[in-house]
Amino acid sequence: MEFHHLLKKIVQDGKTHAKWLNTLSFMENAGARKISKCEHPILVSEIQLKHAAEEHRHAYYLKKQIGKINPELCKTYENSELLAPIATRQYLHSLDIKACRYLQEAFQLSKEDLKYAAYLFVTYAIEVRADELYPVYQQALTEESSRIMVKSIILEEEGHLEEMINQLNEFSADWKLHAEHILTIEKELHEAWINAVTEDVEQLSYA
């Protein structure tokens, strides 16, 4: 199913839409926790703290939007309250592991330096994806005259991407070459996730 068509289908059904918002909230929260986990015990930059804080705020904002559909829906991140829960939980974790494996081979880094490199490249890949996903979602919301909006997230994610590029320029002169490898890994995982979400949505529509 084409992505815009999938999102239109999700937005048109309240319970499915609540699960989608909750799934995005879970992923934003998982991203924030990954960023915090990658922090050096002493050498933590202001920008890294800013990213973690903003991802946590996105998770909270998306969770709060569920109340506009039904305040009783999706109060936790239990499997029954997420779309494609297994693929959703594996997506970022698998990206992190595969990216670390590649970066270690490419740069031969210490444990702390590998954490930082993973933060840079994984966050970059996620921001590239967010820059594609949220505008399509917002378009579907606008077309359905939904009370829910993600415009504020779109603006912040654009800023994040710019900040990640600046940090990557400082990290390595040929970062784009390595980023292409990470983006290829992410694309494969994203497609698997979207396929699982599509399957879940189709099952829910027949339930």
Tens digit of pLDDT per residue, the chain (207 long)? 699 999 999 999 999 999 999 999 999 999 999 888 877 888 888 988 998 999 999 999 999 999 999 999 999 999 999 999 999 999 999 999 999 999 999 999 999 899 999 999 999 999 999 999 999 999 999 999 999 999 999 999 999 999 999 999 999 999 999 999 999 999 999 999 999 999 999 988 766
Residue 39 pLDDT: 78
Residue 207 pLDDT: 60
The number of folded domains in the chain is 1
Rounded CA separation 90/50 (Å): 25
What is the four-CA torsion angle of 142, 74, 204, 194, rounded to 10 degrees? Answer: 70
Residue 59 pLDDT: 98
Which domain, by its residues, includes 23?
3-206
Residue 40 pLDDT: 80
Residue 41 pLDDT: 80
Residue 101 pLDDT: 97
Residue 205 pLDDT: 74
Q: What is the pTM of this model?
A: 0.95
Buried-state track 76-109, b at ≥16 Cβ within 10 A, e below 16: ebeeebbbbbebbbbbbebbbebbbebbeeeeeb
Residue 45 pLDDT: 86
